[in-house]
Amino acid sequence: MTTSPTTKIAIIGAGTIGLSLTALHLVQNPTCQIAIHDPRPDLQSYITTHLPTYLPQVDKATYQTRISLVSDLSSAVKNATIIQEQGPEETGFKQRIWAQIEGYAPPNALFWSSTSGIPASEQNREMKDKSRLVVVHPYNPPHVMPLLEVVPAPSTSADVVERTLEYWRTLGRTPVVVRKECTGFVANRLAFALFREACSLVAQDVVSVEDLDAIVSASMGPRWSVAGPFKSYHAGGGEGGLKSFMEKIGGTVQACWSASDEDVKREGIEVGNAWQDKICRQANESYGVVDTSTRDETTKKVLNVVGH
């Protein structure tokens, strides 16, 4: 399958994730055809205005012939080999649209949801064949970031997972299977755990928002770009690996975890509490409106260095 001229992709939902995914397929899979389906009335002008911002290096004419805007869902998916959905994050919407798509799409088409939180086992409730749907959760923006979290439901077939991995590997991306449908999947769970500790430390005036970001960008960021946390601590243990690391540094690790638990509780680091105002104000003062195109260009260079 995959990068042959026959790959026909239906993009269901053309918000920022949908456009970024469209750009990703167009660039990395140079022969694919893409049908974009979205109920917004200004779809044509919206696509014409915004899609090129995701495709700065590609001549407009080279991709215009490869995309079509399709207002009718059945026409959008009826010849598709891949159907990739990023509609509203509402369980009812997802359940309805997958049942509809199942009725229109070819029997072998892959069904992917970009949801960041609604598991395939909830989305597939009204489908006849619950083995077909799998969550493919991108890391934003997907035309830059290599990660795709592939999260099957218990009912998803191994063949669907395998073909999904194969497609993304062929495109040079990094699909990773999340073996259980846990809340938030893995990337957000990890990032939000660090984010909570970051909020707690700023709430306590240990550091400012800007200094905390400087700490991360001068330490864990570059380190984890090259070797993830387990590999890093495994290396930190020398020949004895992670076991030695835990024997030597475990006391410090536990002291940090215990202090963190106490601080988070005392400072009330739950969403919506008083600490949030301070952090949002500091972020505004330090950063204003962030220039994401510069950020993304630099991120591409980092990814290039680490072999993505």
Structure tokens at 263: 């601080």
Residue placing its CB nearer to its own copies in the complex, 28 or 225:
225
Q: How far is the CB of 124 from its own copies (least distance, A)?
A: 20
Residue placing its CB nearer to its own copies in the complex, 1 or 220:
220
Residue placing its CB nearer to its own copies in the complex, 66 or 196:
196
Q: Please list, in sequence order, all residues whose beta carbon lies within 8 angstroms of the beta carbon of residue 26, skipping any fewer than 6 positions away.
A: 32, 34, 55, 58, 63, 66, 67
Q: How far is the CB of 249 from its own copies (least distance, A)?
A: 8
Q: How far is the CB of 242 from its own copies (least distance, A)?
A: 4
Residue placing its CB nearer to its own copies in the complex, 27 or 177:
177
Q: List 107's β-bridge partners, or say none.
A: none
Residue placing its CB nearer to its own copies in the complex, 4 or 259:
259
Q: How far is the CB of 18 from its own copies (least distance, A)?
A: 16
Q: How far is the CB of 222 from its own copies (least distance, A)?
A: 5
Query: Which of 268, 71, 26, 40 lies closest to 171, judged by CA?
Result: 26
Q: According to DSSP H, which parts of the chain are helical?
A: 16-28, 43-50, 60-64, 73-77, 91-104, 120-123, 158-170, 187-203, 209-217, 220-226, 229-236, 241-267, 275-287, 292-305
